[in-house]
Amino acid sequence: MKPIVQISLDLTNIDEALETAAMALRAGVDWLEAGTPLILAEGLHGVRKLREAFPSTPIVADLKTMDGGYLEAEMMAKAGADYVVVMARAHEETIKCVVQAGRDFGAKVMGDNLGCPDMVAGAKMLEDLGCDFVIHHIGYDERRGIAAQGRRMPSPMDQLKEVVDAVRIPVQAVGGLTLEQAIACPKYGAPLVVLGAPLTIDADAFKTADGNLEASLRMICEAVHAYGDVKMKK
């Protein structure tokens, strides 16, 4: 599988999201994500606007579904989402409902293992229940809370290889990655690389002299795409 660069539009204004999305696509980004903040702020309207503006670009709706799975997935698929997100900590029946809705309405399902006591087992369960992708995810509050206690902040990289080895479906690592770590994900067998937006560009990595974000994104996309095929289990 060729590596895919996805930009997470973690914004609360659709006009800003559309502007950022256009810039990201010019730079070589492959997929757009309607991040959870954008979905909370703009809902189905935001996804529809992204679909209208970018009719041929894959769109991920980061719903983080916990209940009412069939309806949520159906609504987002009809609004133009190609991918919807369900949480591993949801009830098994909810995950099954999202998977069924995805099949019924032509959307793929990404299962998110955030908060699972056993992240590897959570990923495997998501695959077993029919998800098409695994999001291996260390949450924002978890990272900040642990760091505030003076302990080492956890990272998706800690168990990424174990998660990749446990499943046959593509894996995406999310949560506090540096740009260098995100770019390295394909080397771990995780072909879906996520970049957050608004982006914080490290001054020592992938930052152009004039601070041009589009040029920096283009450099990142070129680095990821240059990896070549990521071998997937059969």
pLDDT tens column, 140-193: 899 989 989 999 989 999 999 999 999 999 999 999 888 889 999 999 999 999
* Domain that residue 181 falls in: 4-225
d(CA 97, CA 22): 33
Asked whether residue 233 is assigned to any structural domain, the reply reads no
Mean pLDDT of the chain: 92
d(CA 172, CA 110): 9
d(CA 21, CA 32): 7
- pLDDT at position 207, please? 35
Token readout for 121 is: 């087992």
Asked whether residue 99 is assigned to any structural domain, the reply reads yes
- Report the pLDDT averaged over residues 11-36: 94
Token readout for 75 is: 């609504």
Residue 63 and residue 76 in contact, taking contact as beta carbons nearer than 8 Å: yes
Amino acid at the residue 130 = G
Q: Is residue 231 predicted with pLDDT exceeding 80?
A: yes
Q: Is residue 40 predicted with pLDDT exceeding 70?
A: yes
d(CA 163, CA 225): 22
Instruction: Assign residue 72 the CATH number of its domain.
Output: 3.20.20.70
- pLDDT band at residue 204 under the 50/70/90 scheme: very low
Q: How many domains does the chain have?
A: 1
Asked whether residue 230 is assigned to any structural domain, the reply reads no
- pLDDT at position 197, please? 55
Bridge partners, residue 35, by sequence: none
User: Considering the entire predicted model, what is its pTM?
Assistant: 0.92
- pLDDT band at residue 216 under the 50/70/90 scheme: confident
Asked whether residue 200 is assigned to any structural domain, the reply reads yes
Total Cβ atoms within 10 A of residue 162: 13
Asked whether residue 190 is assigned to any structural domain, the reply reads yes
Asked whether residue 48 is assigned to any structural domain, the reply reads yes
Total Cβ atoms within 10 A of residue 13: 15
d(CA 208, CA 17): 22
Instruction: Give the HSE-up count for residue 67: Cα atoms under 13 Å, Cβ half-sphere.
Output: 0
Asked whether residue 232 is assigned to any structural domain, the reply reads no
Asked whether residue 231 is assigned to any structural domain, the reply reads no
- Report the pLDDT averaged over residues 220-226: 95
Q: Render pLDDT for 75-132 as a digit per residue (tens, 0 to 9).
A: 999 999 999 999 999 999 999 999 999 999 999 999 999 999 999 999 999 999 999 9
- pLDDT band at residue 35 under the 50/70/90 scheme: very high
Q: Is residue 208 predicted with pLDDT exceeding 50?
A: no
